[in-house]
Structure 1
Amino acid sequence: MARRLVLVHAHPDDETLTCGTTMAHHVARGDEVHVVTCTLGEEGEVIPAHLSELEGHPDDLLAEHRRGELAAALDALGATGHLLGHDGLGRRRYRDSGMAGSAAAVRRDAFVNADLTEAGAALAGLLRELRPDVVVTYDPQGGYSHPDHIQAHRLTRAALDQLTDAELPAHTYEILTPRTWAQEDRAWTRGASPAAYGLVVAGEDDPYPPSVVDDALVTHVVEDAGTRAAKLAALRAHATQVIVATDDLHALSNLIARRTTDREGFRRVDPRTWEPSPGEAGERTERPAAGLVD
C-alpha cells in the first residue's frame, strides 16, 4: 500500500543532504513524498564564481535562484515541494536567519523570529490536508545547531501539538547518524584524495555534530544503492551550495570533503513528547532498503 511522507527542512539542499536516499527510496516504492522548506536560504554562501553576485544581494536574488535549485532537486528525487507560509503569489513568509550570531537573525522576517503558534498552524493545516503516515525533521539540536534547523524542529513540534490524536501521523522521526557511520565516512574521505579536488578532510579529532549519536539510539535506517543516481542529480541541482567532486565525494562551501552515501539514519519518536517510541529505543533496523514504514 502506498504511504505518504512529509519532511520538514530549513533551507533548500538540506532535504537532499540529509534525506535524499530516503526520499528516492520511498518514491521508488510508490510512496508519495512531500518536502516542506521553511526558508529559501537567502544567507547561503555561493560557491560558483559566475554566480557570486547572488550572494548578499540587497534584493535577495539568491532566494529565487535557490527556489529553482530546490525545484530541480525535488524533481530528481520525485518529491513534491511546499514553501512554509507561501501565499500563492510568489511571496515568501520566512527568511533565512543565517548562522548563529548573524545580523540576519535580527530581521523581523527571520525564521528564528517566527511566531511558532502561527507558523505551526500553517504547517498543521498542511498536515491535515495531506494526512501523512510519516513526518520527519531534525533532532532538537537541529542536526548541527543551525538556528533555522532548531526552529524547524520546534515548528514541527508546534504543528503536531495542534493536531488531535486522530490527526497525528503514525510514525514520527528525527534525523540522526550512527557514530560508527560517521567514523567510517571520515576515514574513507582521508583515503579518497580530496586534495585532488581542492577539498580538505575534517581533522581526526574534530567534534562531530550533535546529530551523530551512539548507534543504539538510531532505531531505523534506509540503505538503498539504487537511489544513488537520483541523489547525485539532486545534489548537482543545488549548484550554488554543493560541490559534487565525484559520485562518492561532495562538499559545501567550507570545502570539507564529505562521503556521498546511500544510507541515512533516524530515530522514531513520540510526536507529543519527542521521547523514543516505546519498545524501539536501541532496536536499530538494519534491513537494506527497509524504509521508514512497512
Structure 2
Amino acid sequence: MSLRLLLVHAHPDDESIATGVCLAHHVAAGDEVHVLTCTLGEQGEVIPPELAHLDADHDDTLGPYRREELRRAMSAIGVQHRVLGEGAGTLSRYRDSGMVGTPSQDDPRAFARADVAEAAALVRAVVEEVDPDLVITYDPQGGYRHPDHVQTHRVVCAAVAALPTAARPGVLAVLTPRSWADEDRAHLAQHGPARASWTLPTGEHPPQVVPDELVAFEVVDPQAVAGQVAALREHRTQVSVEGDQYALSNDIAARLSGRESYAELDVETGALVPPSSPARRPLAEAVRR
C-alpha cells in the first residue's frame, strides 16, 4: 500500500535532522512525502564564517537563505515541500521565535506568539489539500522545548482536531527510546567525535528521549542515511556532517543511526497515546483510515 505522509516542522533543517530517515525511506519506497515548514529559521546561528553576516544581528537575511537551503535539501531527497503562509510575494507568515528568554520572542511576528486558531487554520488547509494518511510532528515538549517546536505541536493538533473525525489522519510525534539514545552515546564514546573541534554529548537527555515502552512505531533503515546526509549537507548554515555524525553550531557530535521512532498523539488533548502493543511496529501500521 502506498502512503501519503505530511511532516510538519518548525524551521528549515528540522525535517532532515529529526525525520530525515523517514523522508528518505518512504521516498525510496515509492510513497508520497510532503514537508510543511512553519518559519524560515531567521534566528538561527550561522556556522560558516563567510556567511555570518546573514544572521539576525547583522543583515537579517538568513530566512530567505535558509528557504533556498530547504529547497535544495528537499530536492536532494525527493520530497515535496512548502512554507506556512508562503505565496503572493510572502516567504513565510511567521518568523522564527528564537530560544526561550531571547528578545526575538517579543517580535509580534514570532511563531510562538501566533494565534493558535489562525495558525491552525493555515495548517488545516494544507492537511485538507494533501490529504495525508499520517501527519508527523513534535511531542508536547517540542523535542527539546524550543518555543516554535512546542507551538508546532500545538497548532498541528488543533488543525487536525478541527477536521471531521472520519477525515482525520493519524498524528504522530517524533520520539527516541532511551535505549537508542544510550546506545548512540556509547557508540560516540567508543569512536570519538568525527572532528577534533567537536565534543561528546553529556548530561541529561532532551525531553524527546522517553522510556522505550512509550514508543509505538519505528523506521529502521541504515540505507536511508545516504539520503538524509544529502539533505543535511544542503543546510550548511546550520549543520556540519562528517561520516556517520553531524553537529550543529554547538559542535556537539550526534550519531546518524538510520533509525527513528514515534508515538501516536491524541489531537484533542495533545497528549501521547500509550502504545497498544509492547513491540514497536512499522510506521505504516499507524494509518487509521
Name the structure 1 match of 2:204.
Answer: 207
Once the two structures are TM-superposed, the CA of residue 58 in structure 1 deviates from its matched residue by 5.2
Once the two structures are TM-superposed, the CA of residue 11 in structure 1 deviates from its matched residue by 0.4
- Conserved 8 A contact 2:116-2:154: yes
Name the structure 2 match of 1:137.
Answer: 137
Of 227, 249, 256, the residue aligned with 1:253 is 249
Of 221, 227, 230, the residue aligned with 2:227 is 230
Once the two structures are TM-superposed, the CA of residue 274 in structure 1 deviates from its matched residue by 3.8
Name the structure 2 match of 1:216.
Answer: 213
- Conserved 8 A contact 1:26-1:291: no
Tell me, yes or no, if structure 1 residue 283 matches structure 2 residue 278: yes
Name the structure 2 match of 1:19.
Answer: 19
Once the two structures are TM-superposed, the CA of residue 4 in structure 1 deviates from its matched residue by 0.8
CA distance in 2, matches of 1:23, 1:40: 20
Which deviates further from its counterpart, 113-122 or 55-64?
55-64
CA distance in 1, matches of 2:129, 2:73: 24
The percent identity for this pair of structures is 46
Once the two structures are TM-superposed, the CA of residue 243 in structure 1 deviates from its matched residue by 0.9
Task: Map 1:1-294 onto structure 2 (within 5 A).
Answer: 1-57=1-57, 59-169=59-169, 171-194=170-193, 196-203=195-202, 206-246=203-243, 248-277=244-273, 280-281=275-276, 283-285=278-280, 290-293=282-285
- Conserved 8 A contact 2:142-2:150: yes
Which deviates further from its counterpart, 153-162 or 193-202?
193-202
CA offsets, 1:196-236, max 9 Å, x none? 43100122xx0100110000100011001221211110111
CA distance in 2, matches of 1:158, 1:49: 40
Structure 1 residue runs of 5 or longer lacking an equivalent are: none
CA distance in 2, matches of 1:125, 1:245: 39
Q: 1:221 is paired with a residue of what secondary structure?
A: strand
Which deviates further from its counterpart, 66-75 or 84-93?
84-93
- Conserved 8 A contact 1:224-1:262: yes
Once the two structures are TM-superposed, the CA of residue 161 in structure 1 deviates from its matched residue by 2.0
CA distance in 1, matches of 2:8, 2:164: 19
CA distance in 2, matches of 1:220, 1:157: 19
| 1:31–1:196 Cα change, 3 Å | closer
Report the RMSD for the aligned CA atoms in angstroms.
1.6
CA distance in 1, matches of 2:209, 2:172: 15
Q: 2:17 is paired with a residue of what secondary structure?
A: helix
Once the two structures are TM-superposed, the CA of residue 277 in structure 1 deviates from its matched residue by 4.6
Aligned length: 286
CA distance in 1, matches of 2:133, 2:264: 13
- Please report the TM-score for the alignment, with normalisation by the length of structure 1: 0.92
Once the two structures are TM-superposed, the CA of residue 59 in structure 1 deviates from its matched residue by 4.8
Once the two structures are TM-superposed, the CA of residue 268 in structure 1 deviates from its matched residue by 1.8
- Conserved 8 A contact 1:222-1:292: no
CA offsets, 1:227-282, max 9 Å, x none? 12111101111101011122x1110000011011100010123333344557x345
CA offsets, 1:162-219, max 9 Å, x none? 21112211x211110000110111111112231743100122xx01001100001000
Once the two structures are TM-superposed, the CA of residue 23 in structure 1 deviates from its matched residue by 1.1
| 1:8–1:161 Cα change, 3 Å | same
Q: Which amino acid aligns with 2:253?
A: A
Q: 1:191 is paired with a residue of what secondary structure?
A: helix
CA offsets, 1:117-171, max 9 Å, x none? 11100111111111110011100000000000000001101111221112211x2
